[in-house]
Structure 1
């Protein structure tokens, strides 16, 4: 074993995960490329699990960050006022909120996805006086106790070591089958006094379930869910931690549905550069916190404010959003072609935007694709309860050359997987 990886093996906790899937020591990264200590160049279709939507070391953000540090800018400030914080709030309001006719208060919880979810659950319970939260099958919302309680993955839930209470799990769109509207089930529970389900404080959901298998809710399903919440006085929370910030083709993943959540959770790529940052958007009528009622030592990450502000420059030009959607269409066409071209993998198209993948009904196939992709110097991961989906998460600003190079490796990796699993007899073309 590599000496540096041996140090990891000897001293880092067994909880480590990605280093097992990608056993290399990485030293440098730029855009969609990342290099290991041996000089091997990888194409990154992982993008920090959605935290690097603009790629590695984006030049304009890097310059702003370096200049800020060299000028002795404030690094840590809790929630005191700083120039970096004010500039982010102002630009976020001007570039993102106003053009979308969105009126929300911006809350800075601790700088992680799970913390924005925790704050959302808290404010819903505080404002409604109710305790239960409805979440959905295969949802993933974080690893702290409140967020874990609304997460579906049984392995991660068991890690809590205690009962996870005050939540009710309902079937996500198409969880049963394509014909069954799962919201019939949810609505019936609300209407029937014998269901055992109390009126919840809130519903929390992802428009596209990233970790749960790239399951995408339909526009109609999201719109009906909002109507149900309005009818019953239930707060609607959208967890846009992974699907937001352009990943699905619009800044907020719920924009195509035209819904107006009461609370929106953002983290990962909101910082632009991969620096920790999270924000919770709350409709003004629900922003009734007492000062300090939810806080965190690192909620004032000014270096992340600097890069986050610069990242919003991309969204000042409407052509940027159109370019993301064009690349998403290219990915959809490619994956559709792969499913038709290689029926042996028994594939199904999943997701939308630049958050897509193929679910294979062949056990272990998707993991093999990701494994062979790494051998061909590409980083990509799997998703779903059984790792049945190999997913594509390129940076949303990737150029055409990089996108096509990545897609070519994926096809070769599909061929490799078919061959190694004896699912296809003909020779693989290198």
Structure 2
């Protein structure tokens, strides 16, 4: 058995809990076996443990090893495709139902933080920043759309107003979501794991699921043991590693890159992000940034398709950071890393069942923090017999990428190049 460790990231270096959980050995029994100790798995496990279910979580590496412990740490509401897209393509009823759920994930996240006293540097307020007039018009429409679905914590910022929040000349305006925010993602998922354990749940690390025997009592096999359960949740997302090939064919892993500077002087922090909000721009291949709890600039962006590890993350991201904040030239980069998220063809998450008692959720397409927490509530409700909301997600079409595995990476990259060109031209 090989023991794995987290990627060399700022989050791993500053994690509150560095405990290594045991490896599964032998036979175990649970009400629910969760595969994957990321946000989807932890949210589901915690919701179920709160209701008295016996839950066992199997993690192939470490808690939060994948996207949940490597991401930008921003609370962004709705989905990668917004509610208007859902209404146009799947009907007003589906759009309305998903619109009612679009702002719930952030509330679930905050409840966990408060109820279980999770120390994860949670800060309030997230900004969408426009790079041109067309993008600002899009933010005006987003405000109308979200308010039509009951979200009333939005404020438009014109070109002058956004300077009070972001010390950069890049932006023509913005939209602040006061229910958005940012946090240390690895410490959040570790805190959720500790909460699961406090309620009797068991988490095994370095215990990759190798196969699932379907049936009335499905059995999940690892290298050194197995778990028999009434229900199984597959929540490996971009890190299933061949467990369910048919499921993996429905989406493509993509890599995103993040850098973290040395701690910045307080006067520099005040010039760059005076109100300590997080920011993402409105480009298709967007940049996103924020300050960490100890005053570092965390800056991310770009996509590599097919989960290829870029040789030099700094060379990709530092120019983006300096375009936004030229005065950070010369700032030491202490950490640089990449991680995989899972992209679906329609950029909407994929929920479903296999054989009636094996559930799965994946493919948040870069919009996972709030939707994963919502997923945990929706899946736990379905396991308890209240499946209406789960079935809304499960009813969305799940298309494979055209051309099979050989073509989905180049075709997706070609599409990204096209949209990036549109961003550059402002059209």
Largest Rg, 1 or 2: 1
Higher strand fraction: Structure 1 or Structure 2? 2
Which TM-score band applies after superposition, normalised by the shorter structure? Answer: under 0.3
Higher helix fraction: Structure 1 or Structure 2? 1
Taking structure 2 as the reference length, the TM-score comes to 0.23
Higher relative contact order (CA 8 A, sep 6+): 2
